[in-house]
Amino acid sequence: MSINSYVDGCSYWLSHEPDSPGTLDHDVLARIHYGTDLTATQDPRQINVALPQMGGAPVAEVWRSRRSVEHGWADGLGYAHNGEVLFGHVRLDEPELVDLVRATTRAYLRIDLLLRQLGYPYWLRMWNFLGHINHGEGDAERYRQFSQGRHNALALKPGFESRLPAATAIGTQEGGMTVYFLAARDPGAQVENPRQVSAFRYPPTYGPKSPSFSRACLKQWTDARHLFVSGTASVVGHRTLHPGDLLAQLDETHHNLEALLGQAGALEPAAGPFRAAGLKIYVRPGHDHPELLPRVRRLFGDQVPLLCLAGDICRRDLLLEIEGLFT
Ligand code: 3EB
């Protein structure tokens, strides 16, 4: 089964396709393989993320382009672009993460340099996968160190808190860090959630430097739009609600997503309601529940393409996180 989400007026789109290894078509910008079986390839458009898929036949996240795609490697970063958007990724193995704060800052600065050199200076969306994300106590927790390193890099940009990309940060059972990202020639609009304190304003109880991401990024193309929605969880204000209760966290997350879509919709009232082109659901390993997927279907609709992954959420009391692309 292949579910495409075509958007007119922009030259690329997301589809979830059967996960079969092989050479990539010319029109592929990026293909993200989720699973612990690595697919070895030198193609810079192929991205591997070591998270097991849950339930059903495995699918890959594939971003395709209607314009011709150029791709390559630069400074160890893989990239592909089509004149409108750029996908890229970088992989750091565990030995490179001894000083995680510094390693993250350097990785983010390398990404920024690549984006400026290739002419796509506007960050839209970042996906961060970090091994053992909850290891370490207090501010030595790996997630908090990652956050600090990311902040150190992004805060170098003047006015950075009004140009933050949407983001996901999820833990893997394997070590190392994989970051993949989407950037554009022209900026998107940052969207925040009225039910949530902006992550970049979280109090220091969540770490010495607040997480540098926006709740969503709205990109207006010629006559179409993409709303990149960050990983969204059961956080209201800045607190976790319903610790230990997966289904209650799902309901709260749905509530948060509705509020966010309302906020984004107010930016372009004439464009009508947003529709989910694809959702990704992350569940902390060992916390799956037979009622989860039926309830997701009830809340978000039978037809929405889903990708369910077993991964650690960056706060220890969170069991679930949902991200998505809306049009
Ligand atoms: C939260 O709302 C949940 O640090 O990049 C969600 C999405 C979360 C992205 C990140 C963290 C990040 O704070 C955690």
ipTM (interface pTM): 0.99
Confidence class for position 198, pLDDT limits 50, 70, 90: very high
Quote the pLDDT of residue 22.
83
Pairing of strands 85-92, 216-220: unpaired
Confidence class for position 269, pLDDT limits 50, 70, 90: confident
Query: Distance (Å, rounded) from C-alpha 254 to C-alpha 321?
Result: 10
Weakest mean pLDDT among 17-26, 80-89, 176-185, 238-247? 17-26
Pairing of strands 166-172, 312-313: antiparallel
Average pLDDT over all residues of the chain: 95
Element (H, E) at 254: helix 246-265
Query: Distance (Å, rounded) from C-alpha 115 to C-alpha 120?
Result: 5
Quote the pLDDT of residue 41.
80
- Given a cut of 60, whether residue 239 has pLDDT beyond it is yes
Ligand 1 and 167: CB distance under 6 A: yes
Average pLDDT over residues 238-261: 98
Determine contact, residues 130/312, Cβ cutoff 8 Å: no
Quote the pLDDT of residue 5.
65
CATH architecture classification, 3-326? 2-Layer Sandwich (3.30)
Ligand 1 and 235: CB distance under 6 A: yes
Task: For residue 66, report the distance from its CA to the centre of ligand 1, in Å.
Answer: 32
Task: For residue 108, report the distance from its CA to the centre of ligand 1, in Å.
Answer: 17
Q: Which residue has the higher pLDDT, 56 or 145?
A: 145
- Given a cut of 70, whether residue 4 has pLDDT beyond it is no
Task: For residue 219, report the distance from its CA to the centre of ligand 1, in Å.
Answer: 20
Query: Distance (Å, rounded) from C-alpha 224 to C-alpha 6?
Result: 10
Phi, psi of 30, rounded to the nearest 5 degrees: -160, 140
Quote the pLDDT of residue 1.
38
Active site residues: 321
- Given a cut of 60, whether residue 235 has pLDDT beyond it is yes
- Given a cut of 70, whether residue 3 has pLDDT beyond it is no
